[in-house]
Amino acid sequence: MNKVDTLIQNALVFDGSGAEPVLQDVAIAQGIIVGMGTNLAYTAEHCVNASGLALMPGIIDSHTHFDAQITWDSHVRPSPALGVTTAIIGNCGFTIAPCRPKDRELTMRNLTQVEGMSLQVLQHGIDWDFETFPEYLAMLKKKQCAINVAAYIGHSSVRTWVMGEDANKREATSAEIAEMATVVRDAMAAGAIGFATSTSPAHNGEGGFPMPSRLASDEEMMQLTLAMSSQGRGVYMVTKGGQMPVSFLESLAAASNRPVMVAALLHNSTNPDGVFNDLKAISEANERGHNLKGQVSCCPLSMDFTFASAYPVEGLRNWKPALGLQHDALKTCLASAEFRAKLKEELLQTASFRLFNNEWDKVHVVETFKTENQIYEHQSVATLAMQKGVDPLDFALDLALEEDLQTVFTAMLLNSDTAAVGKLLNHPHSLVSLSDAGAHLTFFNDAGFGLHLLGYWAREMGVMSMTEAVHRLTAQAAEILGLKNRGLLHRGYAADLLLFDPQTVGRGPKKRVFDLPLGAPRLHTDAIGVRGVWVNGHLTADENGMREKIQLSGQLMTEFN
């Protein structure tokens, strides 16, 4: 009788392929699935009775921002406890490599603005034991990680490496584009999964300047995409602004013969057809043989924020005068009648895509600073403004100013229409994604998106079968991204596994924890119904969450199909 490391018995196995689940055993040895079937004749060091439970491949999170956190937290909390066994970092091009020592402070300040990260946490936490992208990958490999990781080479970092302080101020010259292309080719040779960028107006950096990639010309985008694909592999990933047509992205896919990943496709209730028009164009591109995929979210996009860092409105054209201002200067700006009048005018206009769309009934006061204002908590700004007979924007800003910008609000921004989101999730060319894990830590936490898809959308809403939900979280993502031996429960594949209770699986309510460097806070959600998470055969999390002592068994992935 053969001996294996782990034998999981009597599990309802969803293998990730889309096939119907089968009751069987799964045997694991040296991080690999070595046997599947009924009544397997193995002895095992660890036997798991999975009766009544379901087993699937570990969740592949294709849209994370762990680039900074992973340098100080090899456990990349909270993702492993939420069933994630593989994460792709560097999305939107907001990376920390390559980075010269003289640009470190600017890079961190940009991340503070665009990704809602604490500057003090970044300054205290980031390990800068690298400059180039290959050196960054070498550091990650040395540090090891609780889950598997693959990294994009990021456009904004490449621009800053080549152009310095001009990166977010002007277009690049042909010589600078050629130098950037060399950096991208070197990164791909070192093991980058692809090239990531952003053209979204919501993505602003230090001082309110656009993130560097937003200044790129179409020619720069084309040349860097061709540099990425020069070795016959790679994924081009973009968070696109409304001004970037899908037709141009199709031209990149056609020229490079590589997949194009388009984010962030979210439903906007005030412009309900916008996201479906993009998906229609993506479908037509695929019909012409060009591989485009749209990243969609299964979570309603809600954010906690204060007007000291008002991410939901920072993409508004008329918010620009407030960007980069600190305390007293910011308060003076927010009190300006002229500033408010222009904002109100813009908010009345329909936009193809923006985070906040004047839906004040979806903005609530969460926490007030002054005792006398506690009566406002858990009420919508729309209701409170109506009671006082004032404009909702004026009420929100006046309350924030009265409390020295410490009032906490929450906004339901996008993806609140259940029927529309269901259509996005089932679209043949969409990829369920957009957790943003590792970023916006005090605004929201969608790292449990996979559990939410399984529990809410599959079990409770019946929008898709559990089989299809598993497929979309695993094999579909692995195929698009070119991940080798991941995303399926088959013999010879990596033993990345999620054991869960299909009757209860889901994500818990958000709460605040204080485990970042310097004791800084972040939002957290607990897993519900998770019984075990294995990464390359090693048990990393169980029903109590992340295990205290684990082997850092994740692999840095640098070779792709």
Mean pLDDT of 381-409: 97
CA distance linking residue 343 with residue 293, whole number of Å: 34
pLDDT digits (tens, 9 = 90+) for 97-128: 999 999 999 999 999 888 878 899 999 999 99
Nearest to 322 by CA among 301, 302, 307, 304: 307
**Same domain, yes or no, for 64 and 198?**
yes
> Is residue 265 a contact partner of residue 279, using CB atoms and an 8 Å limit?
yes
Mean pLDDT of 542-549: 94
Tell me, yes or no, whether 556 lies in a domain. no
Domain with residue 116: its CATH number is 3.20.20.140
Identify the domain boundary among 355, 382, 413: 413
For residues 99 and 214, state if they share a domain: yes
Single-letter residue type at 29 = A
Residues 351 and 225 in one domain: no
Given a contact cutoff of 8 angstroms between Cβ atoms, the answer to whether 501 and 455 are in contact is no
Spatial CB neighbours of 196, under 8 Å, sequence gap ≥ 6 = 90, 91, 92, 93, 95, 152, 153, 154, 155, 236, 237, 238
**Is residue 164 located within the same domain as residue 194?**
yes
Helical H segments across 379-452, by residue range: 381-388, 392-402, 418-426, 449-452
Q: For the chain, what is the mean pLDDT? A: 95
pLDDT at 163 over 90: yes
Residue 301 has a pLDDT of 87
Lowest mean pLDDT among 98-112, 248-262, 512-526: 512-526
Where residue 174 falls among pLDDT bands split at 50, 70, 90? Answer: very high
What is residue 1's predicted lDDT score, i.e. its pLDDT?
58
pLDDT > 80? residue 28 = yes
Report the amino acid identity of residue 9: Q
Q: Decide if 208 is inside a domain.
A: yes
Q: Is 534 inside a domain boundary? A: yes
Q: Check whether residue 135 and residue 195 sit in a common domain.
A: yes
In the chain, the percentage of residues whose pLDDT exceeds 90 is 86
Of the residues 389, 413, 437, which one is the last residue of a structural domain? Answer: 413
pLDDT of 382 > 90? The answer is yes
Q: Kindly state whether residue 155 falls inside one of the protein's structural domains.
A: yes
Q: Both 282 and 322 in a single domain? A: no
pLDDT at 194 (0 to 100):
98
C-alpha span between 221 and 93 (Å, rounded): 12
The string of pLDDT tens digits covering residues 423-455 is 999 999 999 999 999 988 777 889 999 999 999
* CA separation for the pair 543, 347 (Å, rounded): 45
Residue 390, number of CB atoms within 10 A of its CB: 13
The string of pLDDT tens digits covering residues 196-211 is 999 998 898 887 789 9
The rounded distance, in Å, linking the Cα atoms of 194 and 481 is 9
Q: Is residue 356 part of a domain?
A: yes
Confidence bin at 270 (pLDDT 50/70/90):
confident
Q: How many domains does the chain have?
A: 2
Query: What band does 350 get if pLDDT is binned at 50, 70 and 90?
Result: confident
Three-state secondary-structure class, residue 368? coil
- The confidence score (pLDDT) of residue 352 equals 62
Contacts of 212 (CB under 8 A, 6+ apart): 155, 156, 159, 160, 163, 167, 168, 205
The confidence score (pLDDT) of residue 226 equals: 98
pLDDT(543) > 90: yes
Q: Are residues 240 and 324 in the same domain?
A: no
Assess contact for 411 and 356: CB atoms under 8 A.
yes
Q: Round to whole Å and give the CA distance between 144 and 338.
A: 53
pLDDT at 331 over 80: yes
Q: Is the separation of the CB atoms in 69 and 123 below 8 Å?
A: no
User: What's the distance, CA 37 to chain centroid?
Assistant: 36
Same domain, 63 and 164: yes
Q: Which of 119, 77, 115, 112 is nearest to 93 (CA)?
A: 115
Considering the domain boundaries, does residue 50 fall inside one? Answer: no
Full domain range(s) for residue 148: 59-300+415-481+491-546
Residues 271 and 285 in one domain: yes
**453 vs 60: CA distance, rounded Å:** 13
Residue 31, in any domain of the structure: no
pLDDT score recorded for residue 349: 87
Indicate the DSSP class of residue 26: E
Domain boundary among the residues 395, 413, 431 is at 413
Q: Please tell me the least confidently modeled range out of 11-15, 243-247, 299-303, 328-332.
A: 299-303
Determine the Cα–Cα distance for residues 330 and 324; give it in Å rounded to an integer.
8
CB atoms within 10 A of CB 175: 9
> Strands 506-513 and 260-265, how do they pair?
unpaired
370 and 336 co-located in one domain: yes
- 77 and 179 in a single domain? The answer is yes
Instruction: Please provide the DSSP assignment of 200-223 as one string.
Output: -TT-B-GGGPBPGGGG--HHHHHH
Secondary structure class of 538 (helix, strand, coil):
strand
Write down the pLDDT at residue 183. 98
- Do 74 and 143 form a contact (C-beta atoms < 8 A)? yes
Residues 73 and 169 in one domain: yes
136 lies in a domain? Answer: yes
* Per-residue model confidence (pLDDT) at position 355: 83
